[in-house]
Structure 1
Amino acid sequence: MALTLYVDTARWRNHQHSVLQQFPGLVPVCKGNGYGFGHERLADEATRFGADILAVGTVYEAARTKDYFGRDLMVLTPYQTTEEPVPLPTRVIRTVASIDGIARLVGARVVVEVMSSMRRHGVTVEDLPKLHAMLDDVRFEGFAIHLPLDSVNAVEEVITWMDRLRSARLPLHTVFVSHVSADELARLQQQFPQTRFRARIGTRLWLGDHEATEYRGTVLDVTRVSKGDRFGYRQQKAVGDGHLVVVAGGTSNGVGLESPKAMHGVMPRAKGVARAGLATVNRNLSPYLWQGKQRWFAEPPHMQVCILFLPDDVSPPSVGEELPAQLRHTTTAPDRIVDR
């Protein structure tokens, strides 16, 4: 009995094809937990549609993925001069975001990331005069610019950097960009026909069609309780008559884990305050649905299961049925993936 990720494989691959058509030269991204699919599965998919480069998050991911993907691997996290050595094949391309980093990677294949409005990392305008001679000591693969998700001036920001790099007489044969639309990519390619722009895409490629995938947790047990009955690890009292439903999927799968959200506007903030208030009295919505409604946790998730509370007026599921679950792919580790 498991937390299962079901994949409508034909639909999922049709979506991949549509994204590949919109973004010529696309570099698929496979980082973190492999967007819920795992690195091996996404490496296989990238091989299937003929990708020549697969981008991964860290050197450790590159070390694991090299056995699944036979062409070039690009590490997105910039090289750190203090990092521990990790054995990697020569087909791995390192991202560098500092002058010191370039100096330490003599002979290596490198992509130089420039500082975008993300203000996260990258070489600065002041670094550009030093780059000219240093690029002769590495196998330079191109520049990269990682833009914000909600940028309204993505094209203008890339153009500004293109002008800076051209003024510094630096090679502009390839520029890798993140978080641009298909129209924005086409505009850049039209304005700079001598440069090959390559979009690095993960979420839109693997998760862009929400109907192609579904998480479901198997019901493992159903127990009748009366108001005041004690249950669970902390021996809380049942808030009313009803049923405790034990369903597959717990903290080891990422169930119950939630990252902070950036809230904008009065209504989202009001909902956030309401959720926080309910949490103080142990009322937390689970990601599991039954009869079309999101159901409450009876207590915090366990390592591999959750206990839900269904009030007396709701007919419980049977053992062996599966409950749909609204889970974030990037924080979820299913027990199994089933193609259908």
Structure 2
Amino acid sequence: MTLTLHVDGERWRAHLRGTAELYDGIIPVIKGNGYGFGNRALARRADWLGTDTVAVGTYAELVDVLPRFGGDIHVMTPWRPFWADTVRTERMYDPRVVHTVSRVEDLDLLRTEAPEGTRIVVEGETSMARHGVDRHALTSVADNLGRLRLIGFSIHLPLSEDNLAEADSWAAAFEASKLAPAVSGTPVFTVSHLTDREVRTLAERRPGLVVRPRVGTALWLGDRGAFRVTGLVIDSHVVERGERIGYRQRPMPVGGTVLIVSGGTSHGIGLEAPTSASTMKQRATSVAKGGLGAAGLALSPFTVAGKQRWFVEPPHMQASMILVPAGVAVPAVGEEVEVDVRMTTTTFDAVDAP
């Protein structure tokens, strides 16, 4: 099976350099499936960019990033006592790892488990309401640092059009708290989901902080024209209207050709995140898709002769069955067809990145 990510290497590298220059002090985010490229590849690419720090999502991701990136690694998932059951201690407390603290009650055990001088950042609870210390608890954190080394503060913001006000509010709260004097050197303030202009504005407003943006999607996937995805046609069959085929033996609504194309559920094909529809048009589209799904019809991400084609049935683990209506030019076995995928949920068989 070959679901392939094709990368225009020169164009992608130019985009990475341009984005790194745009975001002063950028901290590349490397997590999950590595935005389709794989965490190992992104760790090497971050080293190539010359940044001194990257951010990973979880402690488990250290196994791929630590050997391939020479700088510091900020783990964004907050430290919890049970992570030690799943991650090797020497990796978890590598001197290059920076931990996130989001609960006052974790500090006692972290001080006991971690080597003296282990670096931490404190995360504030933003309107995301995901992780973080309430701003009224910042004093309690400062009083319980002990032998841990505080280097700064961190916030994770929602996907809003204007996050600057909330970021500035948290920066003010941090500077006014007992945490700021507890930092040795200039405090680092790491933020997510700010535009490059907002990052510069925040840095100008808060000269006492080193504002560093964590950037993932805009860095790695900001120029979608730099890559494309293809699936390989591995078989084809002419079918008649009403003929029953596939696992579920559904009758064909029209005659044509069924293509068996590489790319299935193990790659992430046909898997969808919950809808984030917020406008009436988006909701209407979701309702229409739901109605088609109830009727057993689903549009595939595979494009043949310039149009997305329908699934014959839900994708299989490693391949999909696609219906090409009669009268449409059919690609031959061995040819590639274009696939429109969500990069953060797709696993590729091969990455062609010269």
State whether TM-score is above 0.5.
yes
Instruction: Give the distance between the partners of 2:178 and 2:53, measured in 1 at CA.
Output: 27
Q: Is this contact kept in 1: 2:139–2:179, CA < 8 A?
A: no
Partner residue of 2:157? 147
Q: Which residue of 1 aligns with 2:7?
A: 7
Question: 2 CA distance for matches of 1:235 and 1:11?
Answer: 45
Q: Is the Cα contact below 8 Å between 1:3 and 1:334 reproduced in 2?
A: yes
Provide the rounded CA distance (Å) in 1 between the counterparts of 2:28 and 2:174. Answer: 26
Per-residue deviation at 1:63? Answer: 2.7
Contact 1:75 1:93 in 2 (8 A): yes
1:21 matched residue in structure 2: 21
Q: CA deviation at 1:156?
A: 1.7
2:153 touches 2:188 (CA, 8 Å); kept in 1? yes
Residue in structure 1 matched with residue 102 of structure 2 by the alignment: 97
2:123 is equivalent to residue 118 of structure 1: no
For structure 1, the 5+ residue unaligned runs are none
1-structure distance, mates of 2:82, 2:59: 13
Q: Secondary structure at the match of 2:125?
A: coil
Instruction: Tell me what 1:331 maps to.
Output: 345
- Distance in 1 between residues matched to 2:349 and 2:256, nearest whole Å: 29
Q: After TM superposition, list the pairs within 5 Å mapping 1:31-70 onto structure 2.
A: 31-70=31-70
* RMSD over equivalenced CA pairs, Å: 1.4
Q: Is the 8 A contact 2:234 2:260 kept in 1?
A: yes
- The 2-side partners of 1:134 and 1:151 are apart by 36
Correspondence for 2:215 = 201
Distance in 2, matches of 1:168 and 1:15, equals 39
- Which residue is 1:83 aligned to? 83
Aligned position for 2:119: 109
After TM superposition, the structure 1 stretch with the greater mean CA deviation from structure 2, 266-275 or 125-134, is: 125-134
Helix, strand or coil for the counterpart of 2:323?
Answer: strand
Separation of aligned partners in 1, 2:342 and 2:79: 29
Moved over 6 A (4+): none
Q: Distance in 1 between matches of 2:135 and 2:287?
A: 43
Q: C-alpha deviations, 1:67-112, integer Å up to 9, x for none?
A: 2223211111111233334221221111110112223222322111
Match of 2:179 in 1: 170
CA deviation profile, 1:134-169 (whole Å, cap 9, x unmatched)? 2342121210011111152x2221222222222223
In 1, the alpha carbon distance for the partners of 2:56 and 2:179 equals: 26
- For the residue of structure 2 that corresponds to 1:308, the secondary structure is strand
Report what 2:313 is aligned to: 299
2:165 aligns with 156
Could you list the runs of 5+ residues in structure 2 that have no partner in the other structure?
Answer: 181-185
Partner residue, 1:269: 283
8 A Cα contact 1:55 1:200, kept in partner: yes
Paired with 1:333 and 1:286, the residues of 2 have a C-alpha distance of: 17
Alignment correspondent of 1:225: 239
1:251 aligns with 2:258: no
Equivalent AA in structure 2 for residue 164 of structure 1 = A
Q: Is the 8 A contact 1:52 1:71 kept in 2?
A: yes
| TM-score (norm: length of structure 1) | 0.96
- Checking the alignment, whether the CA contact within 8 Å between 1:255 and 1:332 is kept in structure 2 is yes
**Local SS of the residue matching 2:237:** strand
Separation of aligned partners in 2, 1:230 and 1:329: 33
1:57 is aligned with what amino acid? G
Deviations 1:247-300 (A, max 9, x none): 011100000001012112222111111111111111100000011111000111
Report the AA paired with residue 99 of structure 1: V
Counterpart-to-counterpart distance in 2, 1:164 and 1:194:
13
Cα contact 1:81–1:100 (8 A) shared by 2: no
SS of residue paired to 2:152: strand
Name the count of aligned residue pairs.
339
Find the residue that maps to 2:302 and give its secondary structure: strand
Q: Distance in 1 between matches of 2:168 and 2:295?
A: 52
Conserved 8 A contact 1:174-1:195: yes
Q: Structure 1: which amino acid aligns with 2:190?
A: F
Cα pair 1:254 1:332 within 8 Å, conserved: yes
- Percentage identity across aligned positions? 40
